[in-house]
Amino acid sequence: MRRGGFVPEFISRRLAGRETLLRSLDNGLWLMLDQVVRMGLGLVVGVWLARYLGPEQYGWLSYALAMAGTVTALTSLGFNAVVVRELARDPAAGRAWLGAAFFLKAIGAALGFLACLGVAACQGADGSTLRALIAIVALGMFFQVFDLVDLVFQAEGAARLSGWVRIGAALLANAVKVALLLAHAPVTLLAAAGVLELALCGAGWLIAARRRGHHWSELAWQPGYVSRLLGESWPLALSGLAVYAQAYSDQLVIGHYLGGAELGQYAAAMRLVAAFGFLPMIVNTVAMPEIARAKRDDDALYHRRLFDVYRVMAGMFLVTTLALLAAGTLAARWLLGPAYLEGATLLPWLAFRLFFSNFGVARSIFIANEGLFRFGLVTAILGALVNLGLNLWWVPRFGARGAICSSLLSLAVTTFAFEAFHSRARVNLGLMLRAVFLPWRPPLA
Protein backbone atom coordinates (compact mmCIF):
# COMPACT_ATOMS: atom_id res chain seq x y z
CA MET A 1 0.00 0.00 0.00
CA ARG A 2 1.39 3.39 -0.91
CA ARG A 3 2.28 5.69 1.93
CA GLY A 4 -0.72 7.49 3.42
CA GLY A 5 -3.07 5.81 0.96
CA PHE A 6 -5.56 3.01 0.99
CA VAL A 7 -4.90 1.66 -2.50
CA PRO A 8 -2.71 -1.50 -2.54
CA GLU A 9 0.81 -1.01 -3.87
CA PHE A 10 0.36 -3.30 -6.89
CA ILE A 11 -2.63 -1.21 -8.06
CA SER A 12 -0.72 2.02 -7.42
CA ARG A 13 2.08 0.77 -9.68
CA ARG A 14 -0.37 -0.07 -12.47
CA LEU A 15 -1.89 3.41 -12.20
CA ALA A 16 1.43 5.23 -12.03
CA GLY A 17 1.15 8.59 -13.75
CA ARG A 18 -2.67 8.68 -13.49
CA GLU A 19 -2.76 10.68 -10.29
CA THR A 20 -6.35 11.90 -10.66
CA LEU A 21 -7.72 8.36 -11.06
CA LEU A 22 -5.49 7.07 -8.26
CA ARG A 23 -6.61 9.83 -5.91
CA SER A 24 -10.28 9.21 -6.78
CA LEU A 25 -9.89 5.49 -6.13
CA ASP A 26 -8.11 6.15 -2.84
CA ASN A 27 -10.82 8.57 -1.72
CA GLY A 28 -13.54 6.14 -2.73
CA LEU A 29 -11.98 3.34 -0.68
CA TRP A 30 -11.71 5.59 2.37
CA LEU A 31 -15.36 6.60 1.99
CA MET A 32 -16.33 2.93 1.77
CA LEU A 33 -14.36 2.09 4.91
CA ASP A 34 -16.04 4.99 6.69
CA GLN A 35 -19.50 3.79 5.62
CA VAL A 36 -18.88 0.16 6.57
CA VAL A 37 -17.41 0.93 10.01
CA ARG A 38 -20.11 3.40 11.01
CA MET A 39 -22.91 1.23 9.62
CA GLY A 40 -21.58 -1.79 11.52
CA LEU A 41 -21.28 0.16 14.77
CA GLY A 42 -24.72 1.65 14.27
CA LEU A 43 -26.26 -1.77 13.74
CA VAL A 44 -24.64 -3.48 16.73
CA VAL A 45 -25.10 -0.66 19.24
CA GLY A 46 -28.48 0.29 17.74
CA VAL A 47 -29.87 -3.21 18.25
CA TRP A 48 -28.58 -3.23 21.81
CA LEU A 49 -30.13 0.19 22.38
CA ALA A 50 -33.49 -0.98 21.03
CA ARG A 51 -33.49 -4.04 23.29
CA TYR A 52 -32.54 -1.95 26.31
CA LEU A 53 -35.08 0.83 25.83
CA GLY A 54 -38.02 -1.29 24.72
CA PRO A 55 -40.43 -0.37 21.90
CA GLU A 56 -42.03 2.71 23.47
CA GLN A 57 -38.91 4.60 24.57
CA TYR A 58 -37.05 3.56 21.44
CA GLY A 59 -39.99 4.79 19.40
CA TRP A 60 -39.95 8.24 21.00
CA LEU A 61 -36.18 8.49 20.52
CA SER A 62 -36.70 7.64 16.84
CA TYR A 63 -39.45 10.27 16.64
CA ALA A 64 -37.12 12.94 18.05
CA LEU A 65 -34.37 11.97 15.61
CA ALA A 66 -36.77 12.06 12.65
CA MET A 67 -38.16 15.44 13.70
CA ALA A 68 -34.74 17.05 14.18
CA GLY A 69 -33.44 15.48 10.99
CA THR A 70 -36.34 16.85 8.94
CA VAL A 71 -35.72 20.36 10.26
CA THR A 72 -31.97 20.02 9.67
CA ALA A 73 -32.57 18.94 6.07
CA LEU A 74 -34.17 22.34 5.43
CA THR A 75 -32.03 24.64 7.58
CA SER A 76 -28.71 23.17 6.40
CA LEU A 77 -29.66 24.72 3.02
CA GLY A 78 -28.07 21.95 0.96
CA PHE A 79 -25.18 24.04 -0.34
CA ASN A 80 -22.39 21.53 0.31
CA ALA A 81 -22.02 20.59 -3.35
CA VAL A 82 -21.91 24.26 -4.39
CA VAL A 83 -19.17 25.06 -1.84
CA VAL A 84 -17.05 22.07 -2.87
CA ARG A 85 -17.40 23.07 -6.52
CA GLU A 86 -16.33 26.66 -5.88
CA LEU A 87 -13.43 25.65 -3.63
CA ALA A 88 -12.12 23.40 -6.39
CA ARG A 89 -12.68 25.98 -9.14
CA ASP A 90 -11.32 29.06 -7.41
CA PRO A 91 -9.18 28.33 -4.33
CA ALA A 92 -8.28 32.03 -4.07
CA ALA A 93 -11.90 32.84 -3.17
CA GLY A 94 -12.12 29.93 -0.73
CA ARG A 95 -12.14 32.07 2.41
CA ALA A 96 -15.08 34.11 1.11
CA TRP A 97 -17.11 31.03 0.17
CA LEU A 98 -16.38 29.34 3.50
CA GLY A 99 -17.25 32.53 5.37
CA ALA A 100 -20.60 32.71 3.58
CA ALA A 101 -21.27 29.03 4.25
CA PHE A 102 -20.35 29.37 7.93
CA PHE A 103 -22.70 32.32 8.35
CA LEU A 104 -25.62 30.56 6.65
CA LYS A 105 -25.04 27.28 8.50
CA ALA A 106 -24.88 29.08 11.86
CA ILE A 107 -28.10 30.99 11.15
CA GLY A 108 -29.75 27.78 9.93
CA ALA A 109 -28.68 25.88 13.05
CA ALA A 110 -30.10 28.58 15.32
CA LEU A 111 -33.40 28.75 13.45
CA GLY A 112 -33.63 24.96 13.28
CA PHE A 113 -33.00 24.63 17.01
CA LEU A 114 -35.72 27.18 17.78
CA ALA A 115 -38.11 25.37 15.43
CA CYS A 116 -37.46 22.08 17.24
CA LEU A 117 -38.04 23.77 20.60
CA GLY A 118 -41.35 25.01 19.22
CA VAL A 119 -42.32 21.48 18.20
CA ALA A 120 -41.26 20.19 21.61
CA ALA A 121 -43.40 22.82 23.36
CA CYS A 122 -46.46 21.62 21.43
CA GLN A 123 -46.28 18.14 22.96
CA GLY A 124 -48.96 17.21 25.47
CA ALA A 125 -48.71 17.38 29.23
CA ASP A 126 -47.53 13.75 29.35
CA GLY A 127 -44.81 14.34 26.76
CA SER A 128 -42.05 15.63 29.04
CA THR A 129 -39.61 12.92 27.97
CA LEU A 130 -40.31 13.54 24.29
CA ARG A 131 -39.83 17.29 24.78
CA ALA A 132 -36.45 16.66 26.37
CA LEU A 133 -35.42 14.22 23.62
CA ILE A 134 -36.29 16.68 20.83
CA ALA A 135 -34.35 19.48 22.55
CA ILE A 136 -31.30 17.28 23.17
CA VAL A 137 -31.18 15.87 19.64
CA ALA A 138 -31.66 19.35 18.15
CA LEU A 139 -28.46 20.54 19.85
CA GLY A 140 -26.55 18.51 17.31
CA MET A 141 -27.38 21.12 14.66
CA PHE A 142 -24.84 23.51 16.15
CA PHE A 143 -22.01 20.98 15.94
CA GLN A 144 -22.88 20.19 12.31
CA VAL A 145 -21.81 23.72 11.40
CA PHE A 146 -18.21 22.49 11.57
CA ASP A 147 -18.88 19.95 8.83
CA LEU A 148 -17.63 22.78 6.62
CA VAL A 149 -14.12 21.47 7.22
CA ASP A 150 -15.15 18.26 5.49
CA LEU A 151 -16.05 20.33 2.42
CA VAL A 152 -12.50 21.72 2.38
CA PHE A 153 -11.09 18.19 2.55
CA GLN A 154 -13.43 17.07 -0.26
CA ALA A 155 -12.23 19.91 -2.46
CA GLU A 156 -8.61 18.98 -1.68
CA GLY A 157 -9.23 15.28 -2.35
CA ALA A 158 -8.34 14.40 1.26
CA ALA A 159 -11.10 11.89 2.01
CA ARG A 160 -8.64 9.98 4.23
CA LEU A 161 -8.80 12.74 6.85
CA SER A 162 -12.58 12.89 6.70
CA GLY A 163 -12.76 9.14 7.13
CA TRP A 164 -10.51 9.14 10.18
CA VAL A 165 -12.49 11.95 11.82
CA ARG A 166 -15.86 10.26 11.33
CA ILE A 167 -14.62 6.80 12.27
CA GLY A 168 -12.86 8.10 15.39
CA ALA A 169 -15.94 10.04 16.50
CA ALA A 170 -18.16 7.01 15.90
CA LEU A 171 -15.88 4.70 17.90
CA LEU A 172 -15.67 7.06 20.88
CA ALA A 173 -19.37 7.95 20.90
CA ASN A 174 -20.47 4.33 20.63
CA ALA A 175 -18.08 3.38 23.42
CA VAL A 176 -19.85 5.98 25.57
CA LYS A 177 -23.22 4.53 24.56
CA VAL A 178 -22.09 1.06 25.56
CA ALA A 179 -20.94 2.38 28.94
CA LEU A 180 -24.30 4.09 29.44
CA LEU A 181 -26.15 0.93 28.49
CA LEU A 182 -24.14 -1.08 30.99
CA ALA A 183 -24.86 1.58 33.63
CA HIS A 184 -28.62 1.44 32.87
CA ALA A 185 -28.72 5.13 31.95
CA PRO A 186 -31.98 6.91 31.05
CA VAL A 187 -33.00 7.52 27.45
CA THR A 188 -32.11 11.22 27.66
CA LEU A 189 -28.44 10.44 28.37
CA LEU A 190 -28.39 7.95 25.52
CA ALA A 191 -29.78 10.63 23.22
CA ALA A 192 -27.03 12.98 24.43
CA ALA A 193 -24.45 10.32 23.50
CA GLY A 194 -25.73 10.56 19.93
CA VAL A 195 -25.14 14.32 20.01
CA LEU A 196 -21.68 13.62 21.43
CA GLU A 197 -20.72 11.94 18.15
CA LEU A 198 -21.50 15.16 16.29
CA ALA A 199 -19.52 17.17 18.85
CA LEU A 200 -16.53 14.85 18.51
CA CYS A 201 -16.74 15.15 14.73
CA GLY A 202 -16.74 18.93 15.07
CA ALA A 203 -13.68 18.86 17.32
CA GLY A 204 -11.96 16.43 14.97
CA TRP A 205 -12.63 18.67 11.97
CA LEU A 206 -11.10 21.67 13.75
CA ILE A 207 -7.99 19.75 14.84
CA ALA A 208 -7.46 18.25 11.38
CA ALA A 209 -7.99 21.64 9.71
CA ARG A 210 -5.46 23.34 11.96
CA ARG A 211 -2.88 20.66 11.22
CA ARG A 212 -3.35 21.29 7.49
CA GLY A 213 -2.87 25.03 7.97
CA HIS A 214 -6.52 26.12 7.88
CA HIS A 215 -7.70 28.58 10.52
CA TRP A 216 -11.25 29.78 11.17
CA SER A 217 -9.95 33.30 11.86
CA GLU A 218 -9.09 33.54 8.16
CA LEU A 219 -12.72 33.26 7.02
CA ALA A 220 -13.92 36.32 5.13
CA TRP A 221 -17.34 37.92 5.45
CA GLN A 222 -18.59 39.23 2.10
CA PRO A 223 -22.38 39.71 1.67
CA GLY A 224 -22.13 39.17 -2.08
CA TYR A 225 -20.97 35.59 -1.60
CA VAL A 226 -23.75 34.96 0.93
CA SER A 227 -26.42 36.02 -1.54
CA ARG A 228 -24.83 34.02 -4.38
CA LEU A 229 -24.59 30.90 -2.24
CA LEU A 230 -28.14 31.25 -0.99
CA GLY A 231 -29.41 31.87 -4.52
CA GLU A 232 -27.79 28.70 -5.84
CA SER A 233 -28.53 26.43 -2.91
CA TRP A 234 -32.22 26.94 -2.21
CA PRO A 235 -33.34 24.31 -4.79
CA LEU A 236 -30.91 21.84 -3.20
CA ALA A 237 -32.31 22.67 0.24
CA LEU A 238 -35.85 21.95 -0.93
CA SER A 239 -34.69 18.76 -2.61
CA GLY A 240 -32.91 17.60 0.56
CA LEU A 241 -35.99 18.36 2.63
CA ALA A 242 -38.18 16.44 0.19
CA VAL A 243 -35.89 13.39 0.20
CA TYR A 244 -35.68 13.36 3.99
CA ALA A 245 -39.41 13.88 4.37
CA GLN A 246 -40.10 11.00 2.02
CA ALA A 247 -37.77 8.79 4.03
CA TYR A 248 -38.98 9.72 7.51
CA SER A 249 -42.52 11.10 7.31
CA ASP A 250 -43.79 7.58 7.98
CA GLN A 251 -42.11 7.58 11.39
CA LEU A 252 -43.51 11.01 12.27
CA VAL A 253 -47.04 10.00 11.25
CA ILE A 254 -46.82 6.67 13.10
CA GLY A 255 -45.59 8.42 16.24
CA HIS A 256 -48.35 11.04 16.02
CA TYR A 257 -51.25 8.66 15.41
CA LEU A 258 -50.18 5.35 16.94
CA GLY A 259 -47.75 6.32 19.72
CA GLY A 260 -44.21 5.43 20.70
CA ALA A 261 -44.67 1.68 21.12
CA GLU A 262 -45.88 1.16 17.56
CA LEU A 263 -43.19 3.48 16.22
CA GLY A 264 -40.54 1.58 18.18
CA GLN A 265 -41.53 -1.69 16.49
CA TYR A 266 -41.38 -0.04 13.07
CA ALA A 267 -38.12 1.87 13.69
CA ALA A 268 -36.32 -1.21 15.01
CA ALA A 269 -37.24 -3.21 11.91
CA MET A 270 -36.18 -0.27 9.72
CA ARG A 271 -32.77 -0.19 11.39
CA LEU A 272 -32.13 -3.79 10.39
CA VAL A 273 -33.12 -3.12 6.78
CA ALA A 274 -31.03 0.07 6.72
CA ALA A 275 -27.96 -2.03 7.52
CA PHE A 276 -27.90 -2.94 3.82
CA GLY A 277 -27.98 0.72 2.77
CA PHE A 278 -24.21 1.05 2.43
CA LEU A 279 -24.09 -1.45 -0.46
CA PRO A 280 -25.62 0.79 -3.15
CA MET A 281 -23.55 3.72 -1.84
CA ILE A 282 -20.36 1.73 -2.44
CA VAL A 283 -21.47 0.90 -5.98
CA ASN A 284 -22.37 4.56 -6.51
CA THR A 285 -18.95 5.76 -5.30
CA VAL A 286 -17.05 3.35 -7.53
CA ALA A 287 -19.21 3.74 -10.63
CA MET A 288 -19.77 7.50 -10.69
CA PRO A 289 -16.38 8.62 -12.13
CA GLU A 290 -16.39 5.88 -14.77
CA ILE A 291 -19.91 6.77 -15.90
CA ALA A 292 -19.00 10.47 -15.99
CA ARG A 293 -16.04 9.72 -18.27
CA ALA A 294 -18.23 7.53 -20.49
CA LYS A 295 -20.78 10.36 -20.76
CA ARG A 296 -17.98 12.64 -21.97
CA ASP A 297 -16.59 10.19 -24.52
CA ASP A 298 -19.34 7.92 -25.90
CA ASP A 299 -23.13 7.93 -25.41
CA ALA A 300 -23.47 4.22 -26.17
CA LEU A 301 -20.83 3.33 -23.58
CA TYR A 302 -22.50 5.73 -21.14
CA HIS A 303 -25.86 3.96 -21.49
CA ARG A 304 -24.20 0.55 -21.22
CA ARG A 305 -22.47 1.49 -17.97
CA LEU A 306 -25.68 2.93 -16.52
CA PHE A 307 -27.40 -0.33 -17.46
CA ASP A 308 -24.65 -2.32 -15.76
CA VAL A 309 -25.09 -0.32 -12.55
CA TYR A 310 -28.85 -0.91 -12.64
CA ARG A 311 -28.22 -4.63 -13.12
CA VAL A 312 -25.97 -4.67 -10.08
CA MET A 313 -28.62 -2.85 -8.04
CA ALA A 314 -31.29 -5.33 -9.11
CA GLY A 315 -29.02 -8.25 -8.27
CA MET A 316 -28.20 -6.86 -4.83
CA PHE A 317 -31.90 -6.40 -4.17
CA LEU A 318 -32.64 -10.02 -5.07
CA VAL A 319 -29.87 -11.39 -2.86
CA THR A 320 -30.61 -9.24 0.19
CA THR A 321 -34.38 -9.54 -0.09
CA LEU A 322 -34.33 -13.30 -0.48
CA ALA A 323 -32.13 -13.49 2.62
CA LEU A 324 -34.51 -11.23 4.56
CA LEU A 325 -37.58 -13.15 3.39
CA ALA A 326 -36.00 -16.49 4.26
CA ALA A 327 -34.46 -15.66 7.63
CA GLY A 328 -35.26 -12.02 8.39
CA THR A 329 -38.12 -12.63 10.80
CA LEU A 330 -36.18 -15.20 12.82
CA ALA A 331 -33.05 -13.02 12.80
CA ALA A 332 -35.04 -9.99 13.96
CA ARG A 333 -36.61 -11.96 16.82
CA TRP A 334 -33.19 -13.16 17.89
CA LEU A 335 -31.51 -9.76 17.61
CA LEU A 336 -34.28 -7.57 19.01
CA GLY A 337 -35.78 -9.93 21.55
CA PRO A 338 -39.37 -10.95 22.39
CA ALA A 339 -40.51 -7.36 22.96
CA TYR A 340 -40.20 -6.71 19.20
CA LEU A 341 -42.20 -9.62 17.79
CA GLU A 342 -44.45 -7.25 15.86
CA GLY A 343 -41.44 -5.44 14.42
CA ALA A 344 -39.97 -8.77 13.30
CA THR A 345 -43.10 -9.48 11.26
CA LEU A 346 -42.66 -6.12 9.48
CA LEU A 347 -39.15 -6.95 8.26
CA PRO A 348 -40.15 -8.94 5.12
CA TRP A 349 -42.45 -6.08 4.09
CA LEU A 350 -39.74 -3.48 4.61
CA ALA A 351 -37.27 -5.52 2.58
CA PHE A 352 -39.00 -4.43 -0.63
CA ARG A 353 -37.94 -0.82 0.06
CA LEU A 354 -34.42 -1.93 -0.88
CA PHE A 355 -35.50 -2.26 -4.52
CA PHE A 356 -36.47 1.39 -4.80
CA SER A 357 -33.66 2.69 -2.58
CA ASN A 358 -31.08 0.81 -4.69
CA PHE A 359 -32.45 2.22 -7.93
CA GLY A 360 -32.89 5.66 -6.39
CA VAL A 361 -29.18 5.81 -5.54
CA ALA A 362 -28.23 4.66 -9.04
CA ARG A 363 -30.69 7.11 -10.63
CA SER A 364 -28.85 9.97 -8.93
CA ILE A 365 -25.85 9.22 -11.19
CA PHE A 366 -28.06 9.76 -14.24
CA ILE A 367 -29.54 12.97 -12.81
CA ALA A 368 -26.07 14.38 -12.08
CA ASN A 369 -24.58 13.51 -15.47
CA GLU A 370 -27.54 14.91 -17.39
CA GLY A 371 -27.77 18.02 -15.24
CA LEU A 372 -31.47 17.37 -14.56
CA PHE A 373 -31.40 18.90 -11.09
CA ARG A 374 -34.67 20.78 -11.44
CA PHE A 375 -36.37 17.63 -12.66
CA GLY A 376 -34.88 15.77 -9.69
CA LEU A 377 -36.18 18.49 -7.37
CA VAL A 378 -39.71 18.30 -8.79
CA THR A 379 -39.85 14.51 -8.57
CA ALA A 380 -38.49 14.57 -5.01
CA ILE A 381 -41.09 17.11 -3.88
CA LEU A 382 -43.97 15.28 -5.58
CA GLY A 383 -42.79 11.97 -4.13
CA ALA A 384 -42.64 13.45 -0.64
CA LEU A 385 -46.17 14.86 -1.00
CA VAL A 386 -47.50 11.50 -2.24
CA ASN A 387 -45.82 9.73 0.68
CA LEU A 388 -47.11 12.17 3.29
CA GLY A 389 -50.65 12.12 1.89
CA LEU A 390 -50.81 8.33 1.77
CA ASN A 391 -49.33 8.05 5.28
CA LEU A 392 -51.95 10.42 6.67
CA TRP A 393 -54.64 8.35 4.96
CA TRP A 394 -53.42 4.79 5.54
CA VAL A 395 -51.53 4.83 8.86
CA PRO A 396 -54.64 5.54 11.02
CA ARG A 397 -56.46 2.73 9.18
CA PHE A 398 -53.80 0.07 8.64
CA GLY A 399 -51.03 0.95 11.10
CA ALA A 400 -47.37 0.35 10.28
CA ARG A 401 -48.20 -1.76 7.23
CA GLY A 402 -50.04 1.23 5.81
CA ALA A 403 -46.84 3.26 6.22
CA ILE A 404 -44.83 0.60 4.38
CA CYS A 405 -47.30 0.54 1.48
CA SER A 406 -47.26 4.36 1.36
CA SER A 407 -43.47 4.40 1.14
CA LEU A 408 -43.33 1.73 -1.55
CA LEU A 409 -45.89 3.48 -3.73
CA SER A 410 -44.31 6.92 -3.36
CA LEU A 411 -40.83 5.55 -4.09
CA ALA A 412 -42.15 3.78 -7.19
CA VAL A 413 -43.65 7.06 -8.38
CA THR A 414 -40.47 9.04 -7.69
CA THR A 415 -37.99 6.54 -9.10
CA PHE A 416 -39.88 5.16 -12.09
CA ALA A 417 -43.25 6.71 -12.95
CA PHE A 418 -42.16 10.35 -13.24
CA GLU A 419 -39.37 9.38 -15.67
CA ALA A 420 -42.03 8.87 -18.33
CA PHE A 421 -42.88 12.60 -18.32
CA HIS A 422 -39.42 13.85 -19.38
CA SER A 423 -37.97 13.12 -22.80
CA ARG A 424 -34.39 12.55 -21.62
CA ALA A 425 -35.49 10.66 -18.52
CA ARG A 426 -37.51 8.21 -20.61
CA VAL A 427 -34.23 6.77 -21.89
CA ASN A 428 -33.19 6.17 -18.30
CA LEU A 429 -36.56 4.57 -17.52
CA GLY A 430 -35.98 2.15 -20.38
CA LEU A 431 -32.54 1.24 -19.02
CA MET A 432 -33.91 0.60 -15.52
CA LEU A 433 -36.82 -1.53 -16.76
CA ARG A 434 -34.51 -3.51 -19.04
CA ALA A 435 -32.16 -4.16 -16.10
CA VAL A 436 -35.10 -5.53 -14.10
CA PHE A 437 -36.88 -7.61 -16.74
CA LEU A 438 -34.18 -8.31 -19.35
CA PRO A 439 -30.88 -8.11 -17.51
CA TRP A 440 -29.19 -10.49 -19.93
CA ARG A 441 -29.87 -8.15 -22.87
CA PRO A 442 -27.73 -5.00 -22.80
CA PRO A 443 -28.98 -1.91 -24.64
CA LEU A 444 -28.16 -1.62 -28.32
CA ALA A 445 -25.32 0.69 -29.32
> DSSP letters along 119-170, please?
HHHTS-TT-HHHHHHHHHHHTHHHHGGGGHHHHHHHHHT-HHHHHHHHHHHH
Closest CA to 52 of 155, 186, 165: 186
pLDDT (average), residues 126-145: 89
For 253-273, what is the mean pLDDT?
Answer: 93
- State residue 4's pLDDT score: 47
Q: Tell me the pLDDT tens digit for each residue of 356-369.
A: 999 998 998 898 88
CA–CA dist 212, 360 (Å, integer): 36
pLDDT tens for residues 379-398? Answer: 989 999 999 999 999 999 99
pLDDT of residue 250: 93
User: How many helices (H) and strands (E) are present in the chain, helices listed first?
Assistant: 18, 0
Element (H, E) at 367: helix 353-370
Per-residue pLDDT tens digits for 20-59: 555 556 666 666 777 788 888 888 999 999 999 999 999 9
Radius of gyration in angstroms for the set of CA atoms belonging to the chain, rounded to a whole number: 22
Condensed to tens digits (0 to 9), the pLDDT of residues 323-354 reads 888 888 888 899 999 999 999 999 888 999 99
Widest pairwise Cα distance in the chain: 66
> Phi/psi of residue 16, each to 5°?
-55, 130
pLDDT of res. 70: 85
For residue 266, what is the DSSP state? H
pLDDT tens digits, residue range 81-104? 677 777 777 777 778 888 888 888
pLDDT at 355 over 90: yes
What does each C-alpha distance from 145 to 107, 413, 445 come to in angstroms? 10, 34, 47
Q: Which of 41-50, 116-125, 411-420 has the lowest mean pLDDT?
A: 116-125
Where b means 16+ CB within 10 Å and e means fewer, 102-128 reads bbbbeebbeebbebbeebbeebeeebe
**Closest C-alpha among 195, 190, 184 to residue 58:** 190
Of 194 and 231, the structure prediction assigns the larger pLDDT to: 194
pLDDT at residue 24 in the model: 57
Residue 213 DSSP SS3: coil
Q: What is the pLDDT of residue 2?
A: 46
For residues 290-300, give the mean pLDDT. Answer: 83
Please name which of 412, 413, 425, 427 lies closest in space to residue 375, comparing C-alpha atoms: 425
pLDDT tens track for 142-158: 998 888 888 777 777 67
Q: What is the rounded average pLDDT for all residues in the chain?
A: 85
